Structure 1
Amino acid sequence: MLTVSMMLLLEKLFQLSYDANSAMLLVENVFQLTLMLTVSMMLLVENVFQLTLMLTVSLMLLAVKLFPLTCEFLEGEKTFYFRAQKFYEDVPATEEGMMGDFIEVSHADLEGSRKFLSKFMNYLPRRSWIMTWLWIQGPGNAGSSFALDCGSGIGRVSRSVLLPVFQKVDLVDMVERFLLTAHQDFLDQDQVDRVETLFCYNLQDFIPTRDKYDVVWIQWVACHLTDKDLMNFLRRCKKSLRPDGVIILKDNMARQGAKLDVSDSSVSRHLDIMRVIIAAAGLQILAVEHQDGFPDIIMPVWMIAMR
């Protein structure tokens, strides 16, 4: 607008300079154009202020979106994590306990997980017609040597999804009795022999071994991490991947925004918020898939593969 006004002013001056009788008209036009310039400057300053305000608000909203959970301290423990630990003290070390009130969807969950995992594997087990296992070429590039089961509980996912595919699996969970149940009761003996390590750690403190895992599986436990701790944990998981390794996160996703359940300190995030956290962790999303076969009463469950 300033450039246009200046051009108009120069054009007027050039035209009027040839007419001595137009001096008054020249003064009037100069006054009008000066007024236009002043108004334009005021509008420009106002627009700059508005844009600056919009940018500031946007950055504030991004910060709130990315880190909505701030942890207070209670008797030396973070309140957010303290509540989760107290909640799981009363959860039975059974498959029903791991599934809460929705044991009926366990089969659909495991089947969906197996199908999603198979998309990224270079070799997959198949039972032959003589009831022996064969390894066939898979569609992906991830190896089948080692997997990490994060928030493993009693090993429900390891038993039915990971151990049928991988030679070895590590389990990590914050509840010791869940891990002991996995080792002593829940897993088959052949599977127990292929579990290398049981890590009793909170994920916000756990540091996976670098360059060790073909797949890191994170199911129904990302919801128990604050946004910042989840971002940092994903960064550490990225460093733990072998070449062509994949991180798979499966969790409840809110239909809108983020929903905090204070009873067990779980936060369900909208898929878009999860995408922001994943990007902030320096990871690239490979695939996203909705878990089918769950009743509508259950919050939507999504699977995200990344590396």
Structure 2
Amino acid sequence: MAEEAKETMNQNTFYSDAKEYWKKIPATVDGMLGGYGSISSNDIIGSQKFLKFFLHAPWAQRMQNRKALDCGAGIGRVSKHLLLPIFQSVDLLEQEKSFLDEAKTYLGDTADRVGKYIHKGLQDFTPSSAEYDLIWCQWVLGHLSDDHLVSFLKRCKEGLMDGGLICIKENIAKDGVIFDDQDSSFTRSYNEMQKIFKLADVTVVKEYTQRNFPLELYTVKMIALR
């Protein structure tokens, strides 16, 4: 982690500050997207294009569509519009209980194919061995310290079925690591992310830059790992 980010972060309250921040956020699409609810459609379209490659890849590299995990699921926006239309079953992992409670309504009829609503932070979650075809992590990994992110990715790798993928969709800083003391999160550069991947022993399979987002936002990348 870049030294300036280390100096800014309060090690003792990093996770509790984030939890307090999200408790105050409304359980709406606009709340999940930091006031940018208008980008939801373009976000889903970009993610669909990214996943389509793996669903139609040659058989040896193809991802199956049995079960997915939505990490930092919020009210289930990504599950409803991206994952549940593709996968037979989806689990939602989210630390804010009010978001999970709202998800059961927001998902509507598609909630019938939700396997589990898991009320935990990523740092405390371990998937069962070979449980998921896809582990989707969007705008949530910045809430993990470097050490916890490495450990989380290692556990996720063990939780993949044959041909499975960990997909990350995150803001990318131009350089180093930026700490946001409002929501207690990091925005890492791609170089910093690569260091994390190496430590976690995961390999980048494909990457794609999200298009058609407002210019004032960070660059957003999708990265598939095995």
TM-score (norm: length of structure 1): 0.70
Contact 1:91 1:97 in 2 (8 A): yes
- How big is the shift at 1:138? 8.6
Alpha-carbon contact 2:60-2:163 (below 8 Å) kept: no
Q: Which consecutive segments of 4 or more residues in structure 1 shift more than 2 A? A: 68-73, 137-140
Structure 1 residue 188: Cα displacement:
2.1
**Counterpart contact for 1:148–1:217, Cα < 8 Å:** yes
Query: Are 1:118 and 2:45 counterparts?
Result: no
Larger RCO, structures 1/2 (Cα 8 Å, 6+ apart): 2
Q: 1:248 & 1:178 partners in 2: Cα distance?
A: 22
Q: Which residue number in structure 2 is paired with residue 99 of structure 1? A: 33
In the alignment, what sits opposite 1:159?
80
Q: Which runs of 5+ in 2 are unaligned?
A: none
Aligned residues: 225
Match of 1:187 in 2: 107
Checking the alignment, whether the CA contact within 8 Å between 1:114 and 1:161 is kept in structure 2 is yes
2:131 is aligned to 212
SS in 2 for 1:246: strand
1:90 and 2:24 matched: yes
Distance across 2 between alignment mates of 1:85 and 1:140? 38
- Take 2:217 and 2:108, find their aligned partners in 1: how far apart are those partners? 31
Aligned 1:132-171 pairs, distance under 5 A: 140-171=61-92
- Taking the aligned partners of 1:305 and 1:170, their CA distance within structure 2 comes to 19
8 Å contact from structure 1 (residues 120, 138) kept in 2: no
Q: Secondary structure at the residue paired with 2:55? A: coil
1:101, distance to aligned residue in structure 2 (A): 1.9
Are 1:142 and 1:214, in contact at CA under 8 Å, matched by a contact in 2?
yes
Please tell me whether the aligned partners of residues 150 and 200 of structure 2 are also in contact (alpha carbons under 8 angstroms).
Answer: yes
Per the alignment, do residues 72 and 96 of structure 1 end up closer, same or farther by CA in structure 2, a change over 3 Å counting? closer
1:95-139 deviation digits (Å, cap 9, x = unpaired): 11101121121111111011101111259xxxxxxxxxxxxx999
Aligned to 1:248: 167
State the identity as a percent. 39
After superposition, the C-alpha distances for 1:1-56 in whole angstroms (9 at most, x for unaligned) are xxxxxxxxxxxxxxxxxxxxxxxxxxxxxxxxxxxxxxxxxxxxxxxxxxxxxxxx
1:176 is matched with which residue?
97
8 Å Cα contact 1:285-1:306 kept in structure 2: yes
Structure 2 residue identity aligned to 1:96: D
Q: Contact between 1:84 and 1:264, CA under 8 Å: does it hold in 2?
A: yes
SS in 2 for 1:119: helix
Larger radius of gyration: 1
* Code of the aligned partner of 2:166: I
Q: Which residue of 2 aligns with 1:277?
A: 196
Relative to the length of structure 2, the TM-score reads 0.94
Pick from 179, 183, 187: which aligns with 1:264? 183
CA gap of 1:69–1:213, structure 2 versus 1, over 3 A, is: farther
* Residue of structure 2 aligned with 1:201, choices 120, 132, 146: 120
Which segments of 5 or more consecutive residues in structure 1 lack a partner in the other structure?
A: 1-63, 124-136
SS in 2 for 1:237: helix
